[in-house]
RNA sequence: UCCCCGGUAGCUCAACGGUAGAGCAUUCGGCUGUUAACCGAAGGGUUGCUAGUUCGAAUCUAGCCCGGGGAG
């Protein structure tokens, strides 16, 4: 029940049947629940993993946390009720996508993103920095900002650090990310240095704009470290960024083509320079077996499209690794996806049925597969937190990684 | 009975004298701050049958078989 705390405005839009019981008790003042951003480090594990708690105006987040991606104000295939029943603590939204559709002004006029999408729990918005990378064919970057050609209608749009902040303030997420320049890996040193330097300058501009126009009581702004796969660049970049004193730090530009070992090495370099009392968000990762490594490196927050996208593509996670439900071998398999899984899908449906739904292109396949994969990720994160609490993450990690690498 | 159109991969169709291709389906593989219910790969054909013309025929000719349409 302690998972969710609610602000007064949002509660009115939330289905009462899904409210935790404690909230149904009369409360002295809903105002008391409006807590500004705060991070508490509760415990560390011998591996270096951290157990923590982030308090935001829309509730508390237990770390290490996995944040499902809901780019366009929706986690594809799941209702907000579904997400609550899964125990999702915080969602991601995206500046670029929501700016194009339905527009940040519209969302502002609807009372902000929480209210608009009826998600009274924490939200983090990404800045559009990743779209600098993923929409590379459709954009031009200068020191001033990024000119995008919309992937929807080809229209031109200019995203500067200030514009990104304006949009993210309008969306009203609990955590905002600065605009950064994410580049592919591998990239040569001068390219990487240029992007890291520009990202740092943009971080300063975002911070200044937010200081002038934002409300630190409602939103927290995270800086983003760049520096590619060049350790000295990462090191310089993170030190300079820490001087800007953000309440939390994103580690960007990783898992964009480089080997996992290198991702870990860079994460280690950055984390060794970040202050211990602030949350660390490794952006855009990862596979389950990789997440264990990142957590052991001291990462507190992660997000990834993998569980949701893979689900839509017929790739399901299980305690043994994964199964590709579209494969013929499951056509007559009466078992659930994972016999040890307690999710609503595994309690009710067979592999044979799920394969049928996928093969016939039914919407329900997306819904059920996504539900299961998110459950897998969130359940794993819960077990990770428990393992850290008891100082036993190393054993949990080696067990899981052994199971995941022996499959195939 | 005659005339016309058609018969090519499981399906729908390209190629119209130069070693038979696509889409879909099938099977398998990838997806890492979502341009992704996506992308990629593989398997799959004595071109209805039989003769003929030709250096060479899915393609031209003849006969037959099957389907659709028309005339009487």
Distance of A331 CA from B58 C1′ (whole Å): 39
Which residues does chain A have with pLDDT short of 50?
1-32, 408
Question: Distance between CA atoms of A1 and A320, rounded to whole angstroms?
Answer: 30
A29-52 pLDDT, tens digit per residue, is 444 456 789 999 999 999 999 999
Q: What is the pLDDT of residues A348-376, one digit of tens each?
A: 999 999 999 999 999 999 999 999 999 99
CA of A204 to C1' of B70 (A): 81
Quote the crossing angle between the two packed helices A288-296 and A393-406, to the nearest 10°.
Answer: 150
Strand partners, A69: A92
Distance measured from the CA of protein residue A236 to the C1' of nucleotide B37, in angstroms: 43
How many angstroms separate the Cα of A45 from the Cα of each of A40, A50, A110, A384? Answer: 15, 6, 43, 11
Distance A365 CA to B15 C1' (A): 39
Contacts 24+ apart (CB under 8 A), A230-237: A230/A189, A230/A192, A230/A193, A231/A265, A231/A266, A231/A269, A233/A189, A233/A192, A233/A193, A233/A196, A234/A196, A234/A266, A234/A269, A234/A270, A235/A269, A235/A270, A235/A273, A236/A196, A237/A196, A237/A199, A237/A200
Choosing from A126, A174, A180, A338, the catalytic residue is A126
Closest nucleotide to A281, Cα to C1': B33
The CA–C1' separation of A313 and B19, in angstroms, is 39
Q: What is the pLDDT of residues A95-144, one digit of tens each?
A: 999 999 999 999 999 999 999 999 999 999 999 999 989 998 899 999 99
Is A189 within 8 Å of A132 (Cβ atoms)?
no
A261 is catalytic: no
**pTM of the predicted protein model:** 0.91
Residue A255's pLDDT is 97
Instruction: Give the distance, in angstroms, between residue A211 CA and nucleotide B72 C1'.
Output: 93
- Among residues A180, A293, A300, A303, the one annotated as catalytic is A303
Nearest nucleotide from residue A178 CA, by C1' atom: B33
Q: What pLDDT, on a 0 to 100 scale, did the predictor assign at position A132?
A: 86
> Which nt is closest to the CA of A291, judged by C1'?
B32
Chain B bases near protein CB atoms (7 A cut-off): 25-39
Q: What per-residue confidence (pLDDT) applies to A6?
A: 42
**Protein A313 CA to nucleic acid B43 C1', in Å?**
22
Nucleotide nearest to A226 (CA to C1'): B33
pLDDT of A35 reads: 78
ipTM of the modeled complex: 0.89
Q: Is A303 a catalytic residue?
A: yes
Closest nt to residue A257, judged CA to C1': B32
Nucleotide closest in space to A329 (CA vs C1'): B27
């Amino acid at each position: 029940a302690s998972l969710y705390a609610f602000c007064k405005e949002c509660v009115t839009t939330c289905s009462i049947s899904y409210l935790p019981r404690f909230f149904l008790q009369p409360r002295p003042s809903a105002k008391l629940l409006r807590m500004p951003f705060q991070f508490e480090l509760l415990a560390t594990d011998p591996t270096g993993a951290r157990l923590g708690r982030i308090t935001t105006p829309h509730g508390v987040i237990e770390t290490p946390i996995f944040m499902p991606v809901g780019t366009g104000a929706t986690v594809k295939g799941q209702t907000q009720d579904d997400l609550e029943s899964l125990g999702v603590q915080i969602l991601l939204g995206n500046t670029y996508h929501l700016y194009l559709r339905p527009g940040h002004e519209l969302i502002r006029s609807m009372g902000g993103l929480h209210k608009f999408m009826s998600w009274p729990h924490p939200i983090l918005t990404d800045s559009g920095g990743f779209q600098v990378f993923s929409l590379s064919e459709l954009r031009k970057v200068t020191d001033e900002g990024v000119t995008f050609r919309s992937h929807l209608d080809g229209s031109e749009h200019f995203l500067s650090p200030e514009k990104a902040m304006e949009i993210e303030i309008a969306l009203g997420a609990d955590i905002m990310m600065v605009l950064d320049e994410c580049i592919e890996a591998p990239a040569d040193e001068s390219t990487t240095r240029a992007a890291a330097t520009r990202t740092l300058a943009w971080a300063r501009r975002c911070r200044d704009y937010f200081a002038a126009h934002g409300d630190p009581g409602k939103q927290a702004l995270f800086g983003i470290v760049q520096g590619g796969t060049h350790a000295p660049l990462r090191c310089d970049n993170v030190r300079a960024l820490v001087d800007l004193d953000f309440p939390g730090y994103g580690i960007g530009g990783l898992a964009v083509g480089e080997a996992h070992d290198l991702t870990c090495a860079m994460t280690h370099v950055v984390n060794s320079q970040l202050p211990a009392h602030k949350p660390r968000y490794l952006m855009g990762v990862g596979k389950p077996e990789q997440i264990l490594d990142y957590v052991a490196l001291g990462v507190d927050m992660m997000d990834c499209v993998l569980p949701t996208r893979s689900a839509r593509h017929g790739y399901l996670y299980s305690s043994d690794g994964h199964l590709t439900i579209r494969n013929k071998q499951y056509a007559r398999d009466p078992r659930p996806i994972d016999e040890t899984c307690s999710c609503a899908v595994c309690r009710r449906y067979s592999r044979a049925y799920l394969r049928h739904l996928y093969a016939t292109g039914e919407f329900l396949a997306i819904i059920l597969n996504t539900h299961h994969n998110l459950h897998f990720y969130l359940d794993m994160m819960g077990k990770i937190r428990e393992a850290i609490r008891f100082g036993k993450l190393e054993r949990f990690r080696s067990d899981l990684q052994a199971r995941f690498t022996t499959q195939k």
